[in-house]
Structure 1
Amino acid sequence: MHSYSTRQRKVLLAYLSQHPDELLSARQIADALADKNISLSAVYRNLAQLETEEKVRRSSKSGTREVYYQYLDAEGCKGALHMSCIKCGKTFHMADGNAALLAKLLAQSEQFILDTTDTILYGTCSDCKGK
């Protein structure tokens, strides 16, 4: 039994590490891993464990009750400020210099320390802007 859950965890982590900049629902993850014999309940169980370990972050999009998960343990994601498009759902990193500038401005003008590791900015990406 234990090796089974370890296999599921490895498959899930491998999948998440290939999609570090995406907000994925448990259903999307389960659908993508359907050929690997991993059930939706197993995906939820493993995601809950990974959230406890701070390897994934759970968030919800405004206006919906659906929960999305994002893999945080990827090298390029550590400390990055994320931006997420409310139309297509694509998530990407803000350029380091811009994130640092925003954090500095907030600290100076608002006396507010931004936690860039746990913040997602929502808006419309350039691909969706013209649609």
Structure 2
Amino acid sequence: MAEHEYKTNNRTKIMEFLKSNKDRTVSVSDIEDHLAGEQNPVNKTTIYRYLDKLEADGNVIKYAAEKGDKATYQYVEREHKCDEHLHLKCTRCGMIIHLDCEFMDEISEHVAKDHGFRIQCKNSIIYGLCERCQKLQKD
């Protein structure tokens, strides 16, 4: 197999994993473990490089690492315009919800008017529990 085909196959496998997990964030280790489990091990550096390219192209959001954690990534469709809205992340299951509704205009306006602060939405997350995990917690 030619080196170009190998790189393309790796990128295809990485993209397939990202798309199949687009409702949550994943780490480089998650990708690496998945690919190794499919008998398709990929070098961690290759994964980081491809994620950097996808982020630059607007296909992936990189979320800053929480204290003691590594950065995580999420595949997004370009029409989500993630620079314009916040994200909600479930601390239990890891699901990401794009808060791309009229509420964003209200909160941005309030924060600017009452607090003199302009919100930077890109890569911004509000943490909590999703509806499903709240129900599981009550049971």
TM range (shorter): 0.7 to 0.9
CA RMSD of aligned residues (A): 2.5
2:68 corresponds in structure 1 to 64
2:54 corresponds in structure 1 to 50
1:106 corresponds in structure 2 to 111
2:6 corresponds in structure 1 to 4
Between 107-116 and 50-59, report the one with greater CA deviation.
50-59
Shift of 1:115: 2.5
Q: Where do 5+ consecutive residues of structure 2 fail to align? A: none
- Residues 87 and 98 in structure 2, CA contact (< 8 A), matched pair in contact too: yes
Shift of 1:66: 2.7
Structure having the higher Rg? 2
Counterpart Cα distance in 2 of 1:38 and 1:129: 36
1:26 corresponds in structure 2 to 28
1:81 aligns with 2:86: yes
Counterpart Cα distance in 2 of 1:28 and 1:7: 18
- Aligned partner letter, 2:94: G
Query: For 2:68, what is the secondary structure of its paired residue?
Result: coil
1:117 corresponds in structure 2 to 122
- Aligned partner letter, 1:62: E
| 1:26-67 Cα shifts (integer Å, max 9, x gaps) | 122223333261425232332233234443232245343232
TM-score by length of 2: 0.73
1:37 corresponds in structure 2 to 40
CA distance 1:66–1:82, change in 2 (3 Å): same
Identity %: 27
Query: For 1:22, what is the secondary structure of its paired residue?
Result: coil
Counterpart Cα distance in 1 of 2:26 and 2:126: 16
Q: Where do 5+ consecutive residues of structure 1 fail to align? A: none
- Aligned partner letter, 2:132: D
Number of paired residues? Answer: 130
Query: For 2:102, what is the secondary structure of its paired residue?
Result: helix
